[in-house]
Structure 1
């Protein structure tokens, strides 16, 4: 072979070798591109799934925000209502306190007035009065006060103390006279007999069993209290 032929043959072999090398490079590049595309597709699918999850979470968050806003509004309304109720209740309580104080004063006044016509009769042993306490006390008061008529009594009863034992001081009578002037008359009679501790014991018509009890109708230091 001549030198030209050898050179041409070498060039041809080099060309074939270069073409083969380029083909291999292209195939490698295509393979890499396919792998990259597959990875990108996989990652894109994962990203899409995450985006869907985020959207769902955002929707849930929006619902929670809406519910929270409603609860906040309800709480504000309840707070406003409770404030109004508290103010109204405070006003009502103050009014009721004022009314209670006024009623208490009236009750005390009425209680005091109801006791103005009360007298206390002490020293009469239990069982002496019989069944009709009011008539018994009226008779005693008539005798000890030297009255022409039997005084009118609204009620008569012994005090609520425990029943005394034998030898103990008997429970006094609480008597309410119907007319206030009768109490005045009893008080005047007591003052006239104030020199003695036991008053009205000089009444000639008073039964002796009453006189021996120790006795009737004194105020504070005696047996008759008005």
Structure 2
């Protein structure tokens, strides 16, 4: 009789289903021996089927474990994403509040551009307090009540480069508004051949938001539509 290789005892190994494992003897005159060989082969096949079932059970168990871990990971990922989204909203709200407070702190400030370096002779508060009323054609003796003034905190430019901006803080908000209003009405303010420009002192974030509005402003002006900023701190 022919012998077949014994099946693997490990359920973790691939089951060999090569038909050559199961060799059946051809017909012979010894029927009992043939029956014995057939039964032996059937037992081998049955053992192999048991191994396959056990292997499938192990695979199914592992898949179930993986699915459980994936489900748990998905739950934690969803919770983390929701937390991140909530924190992002909090950060945005805090940033907006901080920006609002920064602009409120600058509420009485004005930025003045194009005065040459050194004209203030070390005392920008006195220089601007004396020159602004006449420059803006205001009544003699107009007191802007400047609390303090200084050049922007940038390195001193080399000769021929653009001068640093004056940052001016007024004691009273109405005087700051008066200066901007008069400067806008004059259109062009000239001092010793320099075109002096006046701007409200705004945070970078607010400047960026207003810059997005520039195309809309152009359309409104082209159509002679009047508009204004809301509250000074918002678009």
Q: Normalised by the size of structure 2, how large is the TM-score?
A: 0.50
The residue number in structure 2 matching 1:100 is: 91
Gaps of 5+ in 1: 1-34, 202-210, 217-222
Q: Give the greater-gyration-radius structure (CA).
A: 1
| Counterparts of 1:103 and 1:69, CA distance in 2 | 50
Given the superposition, is the C-alpha separation of residues 72 and 190 from structure 1 closer, same or farther in structure 2, using an over 3 Å criterion?
closer
1:173 paired residue number: 165
**Which of 148, 151, 155 is the aligned partner of 1:152?**
148
1:189 positional shift: 6.1
CA contact (8 A) 1:159 1:173 kept: no
**Distance change in 2, residues 1:74/1:86 (3 Å):** same
**1:1-226 counterparts in 2 under 5 A?**
36=29, 38-41=30-33, 43-126=34-117, 128=119, 135-144=122-131, 151-153=147-149, 155-157=150-152, 170-171=162-163, 173-177=165-169, 180-181=171-172, 184-185=174-175, 187-188=177-178, 211-214=191-194, 223-226=197-200
Write 1 or 2 for the structure with the bigger share of helix.
Answer: 1
Aligned mates of 1:190, 1:93 — CA distance in 2 = 43
**Aligned 8 A contact 2:183 2:198 in 1:** no
Q: What is the TM-score normalised by the length of structure 1?
A: 0.51
Structure 2, unaligned runs of 5 or more: 1-27, 133-140, 201-235
